[in-house]
Amino acid sequence: MTTGARGHMTVSILDNDHVLNLVAAILEGPATETESTLRAFFAPEQVEVDDLYRLGSGLGPARVIGPPSGYGSIGTGSEETTAIVMRRGRLSTADLAAMPHLKLIQRLGSGRDIVDLEAAAARGIEVVFVPRPSLDWTAEHAILLMLALRKNLILGDRIVRRGELGVRSTVPARRGDNIAAPTEAAYNWAGMAGLSGLSGQTLGIVGMGEVGRRVADRARAFGMTVIYTSRSPVTSATGGGDALQQVEMPELLARSDIVSLHVPGTAENRGLVDAAFLKSMRSNALLINTSRGSLIDEDALYSALRSGQIAGAGLDVHATEPRSQPDRFAKLESTVMTPHVAAGSRTTVVSEIAAIFDGLRRHGRALAAQTKTRRDDR
């Protein structure tokens, strides 16, 4: 088994991703600029920077290549690369061949279509998929926003807390054809209209990546029909199957009771949801965004909500974060907003970073053992 040209670990980071950027910063070691970067990422949450650096302890000599400057870009790295850490993109057989010393690929997430697993196995390359609970939580949050809107949760909570619309303590309760004596039950005492749920609704998912697939799984458990648009079909190999129907965007907007966004915030996707997009949605439809605020033209969305062109919007991400005050959307009861928390707190990523470093430590120990064996054989 070969090692890098200098017999030590060379780690290529192939994506400009926030978690992988933190891995690179920790690998670089303590420095004033690095410490500021780490603190800025986690703010306003508090972390002990020394604890973060300790995640990378015990690696041995390591050289870091990357991350690249482009969002979600991917390259082949150096021919000296012994370990790759990545999130998006794919590694072809040709990419693997260009890295003769490569022995470890760590993929942040569960998508198994990023690398030719057979080619990697033939080369003796270990491929590790690092769990990301934050992806599950993001999918749950998308469902949460859908339910909150269909159940008019925010208004209902406010009515109960403040008694804004008054309370009738009793109402007639029907038993068969007879009206019984009043009871303590007072169903919908506020007279809220338009309440429903998710069962029987059609969900249109824009972007069937890892989060999109998780949303689809949860939506089907609620009895929803799921259709989607994506750059590539979803198959059993990528976590989907025959139950999911891929359609073009115009059909998705025309059929969906709820549209949920799960594409990356690239320049290409900026302003994806514009006036034309919203005009193509059904008047009873909801728009859900747990991806990136840049996907939505908020002027167009505000106009669509004010005019009743669509029924509501659930936003965890926003064009400007934090939102400026006073905020025009805050006055719309058809909108539910949360402060970019779908994936949990910032410190959630610490467990993901720790898992990556556990893999790199095993890799480093293996390289050290190989180097020692080679020296002993001389």
Q: Which amino acid is at 69?
A: S
- Among 54, 321, 333, 374, the active-site one is 321
Judge whether 321 counts as a catalytic residue.
yes
Judge whether 340 counts as a catalytic residue.
yes
Burial 25-46 (b: 16+ CB within 10 A, else e): bbbeeeeeebeebbeebbeeee
Identify the sign of the CA torsion 318, 319, 325, 329: negative
Q: Which residue has the tokens 């009206």?
A: 179
Q: Which residue has the tokens 């659930």?
A: 314
Q: Which stretches does DSSP call E strand in 214-323?
A: 225-229, 245-246, 258-261, 286-289, 312-315
- Distance between CA atoms of 360 and 364, rounded to whole angstroms? 6
- Among 63, 220, 255, 340, the active-site one is 340
- Distance between CA atoms of 46 and 54, rounded to whole angstroms? 16
- Among 282, 292, 318, 363, the active-site one is 292
- Distance between CA atoms of 251 and 213, rounded to whole angstroms? 19
Report the catalytic residues.
292, 321, 340
